[in-house]
Structure 1
Amino acid sequence: MSFSNYKSSRLAALPETLDPAEYDTSPETRRAQAERLAVRARLKREYLLQYNDPNRRGLIENPALLRWTYARTTNVYPNFRPTPKNSLMGALFGIGPLIFLKKLSISLQTKLAGP
């Protein structure tokens, strides 16, 4: 890769976008990328064959989508980290409206009851 337009400077470092280590990857990295690309292409072809099948009945199950959905909905607690902010927001939005509605109902009852 040539860097003909870029001249290095004593005052500025080489930008990350021009770093040769970013683009000159090792053969192992290129091989791993090619394997991932082959797996992705195989899965895409399999999905498209199922999608375009004229005799298809029912839904097409995508295992990656099922795993993602499981991780986002059912499996929340292993991925949840309680923090002070989470606790405060939970108390504010969970208990806060109940307290507000109770105060509102009490004030309305006192107004309706009269002096």
Structure 2
Amino acid sequence: MSGHKATSGGYTSRNLVADTAGAAAQVDPNLVNAWGLVAGPSTPWWVNNNQTNTSTLYDGTGAVLPLVVTVPGGPTGIVFNGGSGFMVSDGTHSGPATFIFST
């Protein structure tokens, strides 16, 4: 993930997160072959990591958040679902999926 800010001559790039030390301000070893970046109105940023079969979360500064979601099959897409459709169930509870992953 890179953070960009506008300057009078364009943008300045700043690497926020990388999978190896020294490449960015934060290190996340799960962040390998990233696909997709999404956030809901009040959620952190979610990034799919195709090579590690995970989705990881980051705050607005790029800080790595502790939740790591396993997504079998190498996730390649993710969307935020703010509606009441796409119902899922764990056998006891059901409700609309907040995030939908594709593999």
Answer whether TM exceeds 0.5 for this pair: no
The structure in which a higher percent of residues are helix is 1
The structure in which a higher percent of residues are strand is 2
Give the TM-score taking structure 2 as reference length.
0.17
Whose Rg is larger? 1
